[in-house]
């Protein structure tokens, strides 16, 4: 049997229909890899194709001092290879990647375990819940701390509901957590707003929030949904919300609302200790993904990128 054909193509040459069909059909398809998502969040992106869109890798790149480098765009947790490729073709694939850019900072998705056997990688945390299990089953796996905090929240007469104001939800998240992510520019938030307002086919943006009985906002979550997952993209809690355990109440109600469906609830991380512990308490499990970094820049430029 002949070896797969690996082909580099530019952004303009990509067949969007074939690309999105590949992501749809791939076992590891994720919302970040759809063309609408990449078009909004990446300054430039090209692609490697395996055969006729049997598998794809988006190449998100920029240029500095005439050298191309690959990077991970904001609000884009993991990418890498989507679809299937034979293991004996992996060396050729990575030769193509490293010939395209001399510096790479990549997050390969949770099914790209092969990369850990080929290169030194860092294991990244992504916590998820299988909503198909049903609410009662999921609730039975909650940590005692979650159960205690939900009892406390119930006494506060909190109100769970829908919100249609995407702009306000994103602006609120930015104002609360901007210092945590200083590398994310205002233009990145604007691009993300556009993405949320004009999602691709079979994708949607949802906002859920918790208020007190006076109508004061305590916690909110901006969610993206495709045909496989609900992604917890932006979760914001006010100071008053922390005192009333509003975020526990919010997460529990989101899980309750979507439970029983053939979807995963994707907490979107995290390797930040406090956030990780919070998501673990809901009985989530870790779908590890892989950070691959390499620096083949000339010695006089290696200091520029770490």
Q: Output the domain CATH number for residue 177.
A: 3.40.630.30
pLDDT of residue 28: 96
Measured CA to CA, the distance from residue 181 to residue 165 in angstroms comes to 23
Per-residue pLDDT band for 298 (boundaries 50, 70, 90) equals low
Query: Quick check: is 1 in a domain?
Result: no
Per-residue pLDDT band for 300 (boundaries 50, 70, 90) equals low
User: Does residue 138 share a domain with residue 117?
Assistant: no
CB 169 within 8 Å of CB 222: yes
| pLDDT above 60 (res 305) | no
User: Does residue 178 share a domain with residue 244?
Assistant: yes
User: Does residue 175 share a domain with residue 151?
Assistant: yes
User: Does residue 149 share a domain with residue 85?
Assistant: no
User: Does residue 279 share a domain with residue 148?
Assistant: yes
User: Does residue 273 share a domain with residue 243?
Assistant: yes
| pLDDT above 60 (res 41) | yes
Q: What's the rounded mean pLDDT across residues 185-208?
A: 95
pLDDT of residue 161: 97
User: Does residue 206 share a domain with residue 80?
Assistant: no
User: Does residue 171 share a domain with residue 60?
Assistant: no
Domain that holds residue 223: 127-286
Instruction: State if pTM tops 0.75.
Output: yes
| pLDDT above 70 (res 152) | yes
Q: What's the rounded mean pLDDT across residues 61-90?
A: 89
Any idea which residue has 């916590």 for tokens?
A: 127
pLDDT of residue 301: 59
Q: What's the rounded mean pLDDT across residues 150-158?
A: 95
Cβ atoms within 10 Å, residue 16 = 12
pLDDT digits (tens, 9 = 90+) for 101-117: 888 999 999 999 999 99
What is the number of alpha carbons within 13 Å of residue 118 lying toward its C-beta?
Answer: 19
User: Does residue 114 share a domain with residue 148?
Assistant: no
User: Does residue 108 share a domain with residue 67?
Assistant: yes
Percent of the chain with pLDDT over 70: 97
Q: What's the rounded mean pLDDT across residues 127-151?
A: 97
Measured CA to CA, the distance from residue 26 to residue 33 in angstroms comes to 11
Per-residue pLDDT band for 306 (boundaries 50, 70, 90) equals very low
Tokens of 161: 């509901």
| pLDDT above 60 (res 217) | yes
Q: What's the rounded mean pLDDT across residues 143-171?
A: 96
Q: What's the rounded mean pLDDT across residues 91-106?
A: 89
CB 159 within 8 Å of CB 213: yes
Number of domain units in the chain: 2
């Amino acid at each position: 049997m002949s070896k797969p054909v690996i082909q580099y193509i530019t952004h303009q040459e990509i067949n969007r229909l074939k690309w999105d069909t590949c992501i749809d059909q791939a076992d590891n398809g994720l919302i970040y890899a759809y063309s609408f998502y990449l078009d909004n969040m990446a300054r430039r992106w090209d692609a490697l194709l395996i055969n006729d869109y049997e598998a794809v890798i988006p190449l998100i790149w920029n240029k500095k001092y005439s050298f191309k480098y690959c990077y991970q765009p904001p609000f884009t947790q993991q990418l890498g290879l989507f679809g299937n490729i034979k293991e004996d073709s992996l060396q050729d694939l990575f030769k193509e990647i490293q010939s395209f850019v001399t510096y790479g900072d990549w997050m390969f998705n949770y099914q790209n375990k092969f990369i850990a056997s080929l290169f030194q990688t860092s294991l990244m945390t992504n916590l998820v819940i299988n909503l198909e299990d049903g609410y009662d089953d999921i609730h039975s796996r909650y940590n005692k701390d979650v159960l205690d905090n939900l009892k406390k929240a119930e006494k506060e007469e909190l109100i769970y509901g829908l919100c249609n104001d995407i702009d306000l939800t994103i602006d609120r998240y930015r104002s609360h957590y901007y210092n945590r992510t200083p590398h994310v520019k205002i233009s990145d938030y604007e691009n993300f707003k556009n993405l949320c307002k004009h999602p691709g086919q079979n994708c949607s943006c949802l906002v859920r929030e918790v208020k007190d009985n006076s109508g004061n906002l305590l916690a909110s979550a901006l969610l993206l949904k495709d045909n496989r997952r609900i992604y917890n993209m932006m979760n914001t809690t006010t100071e008053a919300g922390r005192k009333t355990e509003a975020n526990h109440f919010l997460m529990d109600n989101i899980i309750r609302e979507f439970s029983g469906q053939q979807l995963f609830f994707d907490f979107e991380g995290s390797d930040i200790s406090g956030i990780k512990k919070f998501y673990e308490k809901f009985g989530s499990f870790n779908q590890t993904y892989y950070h691959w970094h390499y620096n083949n820049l000339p010695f006089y430029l290696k200091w520029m990128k770490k």
